[in-house]
Each structure stands twice: as structure tokens, then as C-alpha cells.
Amino acid sequence: MSARWDDKTHEHTFIKLIIIPMCLAIPSMVVEVLEGNRAVVDTMGTRRIISLDLMQEPVEVGDYVLVHVGFAISKLSREEALESLRLFEEMLEAEEELEDGGAL
């Protein structure tokens, strides 16, 4: 529950906050293509191995892909990937601020 001060009525308004977890596809850069239709990607500084089984087009080192539950699901342009990552960073910062008791 969160309280906000109303300057007009000089009262607190209580707001129930509901946080709904969701899964997101995160842009990742391919750093190595492996045998077995797999690749090593860099996702916001973390490297992991993913599957390329769902990709309908070839993937090369330097490509950006959207990764969801361990599978590359589509390619992105560099510009789209960097903009999406910037927005993810903003969301993470906002979430940290809320957890620290701040308001947006």
C-alpha cells in the first residue's frame, strides 16, 4: 500500500500497488556461434548459451537477437537493440527506486 499527499484536499490518498511479473524478450548480442544450432550471447553484460532453433534466418557474430527463455526468437537492428536496452535500464532504475521507498 502506498500513500500520496493531495495538496488540494490536504489528505493522504492510499493506493494499493499491484506488481505483475512478466517475461520479456531481452536484446542480446551474439558473441560466438556454436555447433548444434547454439550461440553465446551477451545480455546486459552477462554471457550465456542460447538455442538458435527458432530462428528462421542465419545468425552471425555481432548480430542482435531477442532472447526469450533461452531461445533467440528474432533479429534486431543495432539501433533497435540499443534503444530497447536503454529502456530496460530505465525500468530497472525505476524499480530500484520503488524498492528503496522512493516515488516515480
Condensed to tens digits (0 to 9), the pLDDT of residues 24-44 reads: 678 999 999 999 999 999 988
Integer Cα distance of 38 and 92 in angstroms: 28
Global pTM value: 0.68
Q: What is the mean pLDDT of residues 69-88?
A: 91
Domain boundaries, the chain: 25-98
Residues 6+ apart with CB under 8 A from 49: 34, 38, 39, 40, 41
Going by pLDDT thresholds of 50, 70 and 90, the confidence category of residue 58 is very high
Class of the domain covering 25-98: mainly beta
Residue 10: HSE in the Cβ half-sphere, 13 Å Cα cutoff: 0
